[in-house]
């Protein structure tokens, strides 16, 4: 199984039976791909496909993620027909409508995220002993937040979100110290990202979010109804929740891309609005590395919504739901 990346303007994607055909802007057939070998399609250019092609992909349960060709933001997500067991979504709604259950699940998400952020800094510290002081200080703050989350089961949602924010405030300044000065961000920024590191982080998070949306539907859950993230127009709150424990893994992977100089400053450019964009050569590197690295994250995101579905059926999510996330 593989991902089809469409990154060149004018490409035509057409379905014929069990096969997808790719044509260039002049109409010349470039490739034929059996649909059974496709796991997903990611479009990041002005491409052409009709409703019959979308219907064919949907029938084969191949999701389509459409990104802004310049900034890499998610524009649309086609997942086809959802899981047909409405009882799972009913259990999800009843569970998350109960404040104590929603808070327990939100606390589990935040705890897993903070724990992984601390592990990311520890991993970086092993390679960068010169950064021992800022990394150690941030790890101490994150560990204190972890302990509070584990020891106080009565924390309300607003406090949990505050803990997440406090963790980010400690984590990102230390994390960014690990990048070379010429690309080191001053802070986390997005919409638009204004430097190479933030641009790559945003793209990685967007793609991870797409995997999480697919995983929710596959498990029979509604990705729009979450615990930590409140429902909002255009936001898949549960998918956002599921992404949180994995952000630290994406961060470490992106740090390695720059550390190994697979991604370099010359792979990026600035447009008039100040947005930092990944260029053609950089995108080729990114997609290649993402293809193999994301397989582990896909496995986790396939597993945990199924576990959530079982928790929702019992109406009683547990705090240790993600304790084995790192060892999976």
> Does 253 sit behind a cis peptide bond, omega within 30 degrees of 0 on the bond before it?
no
**3-state SS, residue 226:** coil
**Of the candidates 234, 223, 216, 183, which has an alpha carbon nearest to the alpha carbon of residue 301?**
216
Alpha-carbon distance 244 to 325, whole Å?
12
Q: Check whether 48 is labelled as a binding-site residue.
A: no
Q: Check whether 266 is labelled as a binding-site residue.
A: no
Structure tokens of 216? 């929710």
Q: Give the Å distances, CA to CA, from 113 to 58, 88, 97, 203.
A: 33, 25, 23, 19
Number of Cβ within a 10 Å radius of residue 153:
11
Alpha-carbon distance 20 to 202, whole Å?
30
DSSP label at 82? P
Structure tokens of 199? 């641009």
Query: Measured at the alpha carbon of residue 275, what is the angle toward residues 250 and 176, in degrees to the nearest 5?
Result: 40
Q: Check whether 229 is labelled as a binding-site residue.
A: yes
Binding site for Mn(2+), by residue number, is 164, 229, 244
Binding site, by residue number, is 164, 229, 244
């Amino acid at each position: 199984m593989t991902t089809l990346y469409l990154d060149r303007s004018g490409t035509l994607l057409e379905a014929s039976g069990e096969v997808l055909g790719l044509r260039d802007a002049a109409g010349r057939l470039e490739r034929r791909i059996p649909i059974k070998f496709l796991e997903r399609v990611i479009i990041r250019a002005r491409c052409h496909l009709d409703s019959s092609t979308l219907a064919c992909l949907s029938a084969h349960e191949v999701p389509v993620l459409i990104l802004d060709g310049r900034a890499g933001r998610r524009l649309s997500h086609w997942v086809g027909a959802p899981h047909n067991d409405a009882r799972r979504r009913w259990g999800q709604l009843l569970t998350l409508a109960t404040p104590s259950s929603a808070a327990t699940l939100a606390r589990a998400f935040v705890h897993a995220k903070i724990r992984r952020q601390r592990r990311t800094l520890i991993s970086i510290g092993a390679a960068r002993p010169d950064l021992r002081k800022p990394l150690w200080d941030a790890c101490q703050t994150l560990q204190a937040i972890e302990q509070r989350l584990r020891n106080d089961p009565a924390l309300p949602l607003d406090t949990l979100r505050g803990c997440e924010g406090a963790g980010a405030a400690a984590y990102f300044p230390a994390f960014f110290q690990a990048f070379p000065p010429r690309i080191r961000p001053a802070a986390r920024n997005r919409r638009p990202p204004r430097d190479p590191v933030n641009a790559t982080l945003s793209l990685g998070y967007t793609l991870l979010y797409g995997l999480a949306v697919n995983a929710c539907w596959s498990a029979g859950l509604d990705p729009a109804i979450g615990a930590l993230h409140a429902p909002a127009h255009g936001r898949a709150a549960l998918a956002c929740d599921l992404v949180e424990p994995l952000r630290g893994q994406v961060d470490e992977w992106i740090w390695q891309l720059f550390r190994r100089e697979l991604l370099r400053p010359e792979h990026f450019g600035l447009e008039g609005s100040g947005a930092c964009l990944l260029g053609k050569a950089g995108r080729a590197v990114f997609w290649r590395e993402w293809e193999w690295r994301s397989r582990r994250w896909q496995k986790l995101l396939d597993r945990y919504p199924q576990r959530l579905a079982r928790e929702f059926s019992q109406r009683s999510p547990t705090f240790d739901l993600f304790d084995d996330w790192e060892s999976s």
